[in-house]
Amino acid sequence: MTNKDIEASLRQTQARIRTAAERAGRDPESVALIAVSKKQSAEAIRAAYEAGQRAFGESYLQEALDKISQLADLDIDWHFIGRIQANKTRQIATHFAWVHGLADSAHARRLSEQRPGEMPPLNVCLQVNLSGESSKGGIEPSAVPDLLNLCETLPGLRVRGLMTLPAPSDDETTQRQPFRALRMLRDQLATPTRPLSCLSMGMSDDLEAAILEGATFVRIGTAIFGERH
Ligand SMILES: *Cc1c(COP(=O)(O)O)cnc(C)c1O
């Protein structure tokens, strides 16, 4: 895609978000767009940045680190959205502002310990498995309270909310089910001191369903950048 194509598809994605938010009776500003740039070039990221995008999501650590260093002149918020491996936590803790797929107490401890002291706490969303598909990662809803309680004792982490990555579906009613379940789980677990205000849910093919159910972050790759290389 050319830079112009990326700008145009970014605008289209922003319009989809606005339309869905209006349909839901929500403020479009309450939905933040993460441009998922895994398997896309640094040039493509730069084009989206020049069109105004600031939050980018990456899944593969080495590839992400290469692009983060190539783009160090830009004021980007980097979100790690991939699977966390224990031997990679230091680099995640050092180079990212957010982690969306936290699902393991050992990873939580390591990320907190390894977060550099001069940086603000790492923002995390706990990944919850709501479609019963173990391959998609995430913890069972019943395990969320314990991991939340642990994270609150870790000074290097700041728990912001919950994330889910359901199995794809073409049908909006089906798409909405896990998103609604995530929102209801959040509503159950939220307290005044622990609002869990972030719901990270929705991708290129189901962002409308996610926004209708309360998404505050949508993670969008192909709708912005085209197919991955
Ligand atoms: C790749 C990925 C996305 C983006 O998917 P698209 O269908 O390209 O929008 C979102 N979230 C996660 C966790 C991903 O791995």
- Give pLDDT tens digits for 187-211: 999 999 999 999 999 999 999 999 9
Residue nearest to atom 12 of ligand 1 (CA): 81
What is the number of structural domains in the chain?
A: 1
What's the whole-number mean pLDDT along residues 114-138? Answer: 89
The CATH number that applies at residue 136 is 3.20.20.10
**What SS3 state is found at 38?**
coil
Please tell me if the CB atom of residue 81 comes closer than 6 angstroms to any atom of ligand 1.
Answer: yes
Please tell me if the CB atom of residue 83 comes closer than 6 angstroms to any atom of ligand 1.
Answer: no
Q: Which atom, in ligand 1's list, is nearest to the CA of 101?
A: 13
User: How far apart are the CA of 138 and the centre of ligand 1, in A?
Assistant: 15
| Domain of residue 110, residue span | 3-225
Give pLDDT, residue 63: 98
Is there a contact between 70 and 50 (Cβ–Cβ < 8 Å)? no
Task: Tell me the helices (H) and strands (E) count for the chain, helix number first.
Answer: 9, 8
pTM of the predicted model as reported, rounded to 2 decimal places:
0.97
Please tell me if the CB atom of residue 131 comes closer than 6 angstroms to any atom of ligand 1.
Answer: no
What's the whole-number mean pLDDT along residues 83-102? Answer: 97
Q: How confident is the model at residue 159 (pLDDT cuts 50, 70, 90)?
A: very high
